[in-house]
Structure 1
Amino acid sequence: MREIYCSLLFVGILAAADVSPESEKSIARVSLVGLIASPGAYDEKKVSVIGYISTGYEDEILYIHREDYENSIPSNGVRLVIPEQMRGQLKSGRYVEVHGVFRMYTAGDTSNGMAGRITSITKIEPWFLAAQEHQGRGCW
């Protein structure tokens, strides 16, 4: 009887344990609209966002929509600080998923109307690939 009790207890503990990777547990999945609307809520936090990427000579910006890029509406985007080793794999003009640390702009920053920037980027992936990865995981 004691062995059955111990086995059930062990199975219960395993079922209740969160076995997702540490990086997945600590990342806030947020819409770009939510990030722009409430930058203070995500300041200095790891985030995962989806948006339309524009890469240029000095600017890398993640916009809410392609039309925001086409109409030069920087307040509908956040700046990306992309690591040098990731720059070669980027293609401008597509929707991507970005993982990194959000840092909101303060009064003294040159923001061009943007709410902040994403730094310490660990992932930039075309959205259609990321969407396939998340299929079957529930709502997200």
Structure 2
Amino acid sequence: MKIATCLLLLTIYSFNHKLNNNIIIGDHVVLNQEPDVSLVNLIANPDKYNGKKIRVIGYLHLEFEGNGLYLHKDDYDHAISKNSIWVSIGPKHPEVSNLKQYSDHYVIMEGTYNSEMTGHMGMNSGSIENITRLDIWEPANWKPIKKK
């Protein structure tokens, strides 16, 4: 009986812990489906995330042979490309013309990290491919669920 009670409590704790990692946007709850990773962690530990789906926030700049998701706008402004990851969007991407609206903004992006693809002439620190989400990051609208 004690073991069953402990397992039940552990299950409830795990369920509540996962709920507390969700994000509220207005009246909607967005479930964390991809692991949140900082660009610092990607750059420092590329093999740990290689081939894994990730969610990351950074400053996005898109241009021919220069697509990058940077730690900060200052890194882009000062051409510190090792503080960025390549964003793999080819010219044949179906929405490439609509993507310019995201350039030169902080964005949240989900996709698969590839530590071996380092962008044009190896300038970046890995890449994000097979992008499944791209939104402008507006932190004023994002609030973590408060723990009770």
What's the TM-score, normalizing by structure 1? 0.71
User: CA distance change for structure 1 residues 131 and 124 in 2, over 3 Å: closer, same or farther?
Assistant: farther
Give the distance between the partners of 2:117 and 2:127, measured in 1 at CA.
11
Identify unmatched segments of 5+ residues in structure 1: 1-8
Give the distance between the partners of 1:123 and 1:138, measured in 2 at CA.
25
Bigger Rg, structure 1 or 2: 1
Identify unmatched segments of 5+ residues in structure 2: 1-7, 23-30
1:126 aligns with 136
User: CA distance change for structure 1 residues 138 and 50 in 2, over 3 Å: closer, same or farther?
Assistant: farther
Percent identity, please. 30
| CA deviation after TM superposition for structure 1 residue 106, in Å | 6.9
| CA deviation after TM superposition for structure 1 residue 110, in Å | 4.4
The answer (yes or no) to whether the contact 1:32–1:50 under 8 Å persists in 2 is yes
Could you say what the CA RMSD is over the residues aligned between the two structures, in angstroms?
Answer: 3.1
Matched, 1:96 2:107: yes
| CA deviation after TM superposition for structure 1 residue 131, in Å | 5.9
User: CA distance change for structure 1 residues 138 and 75 in 2, over 3 Å: closer, same or farther?
Assistant: farther
| CA deviation after TM superposition for structure 1 residue 16, in Å | 4.5
1:60 aligns with 67
The answer (yes or no) to whether the contact 2:117–2:127 under 8 Å persists in 1 is no
1:3 aligns with none
2:145 aligns with 137
| CA deviation after TM superposition for structure 1 residue 98, in Å | 0.6
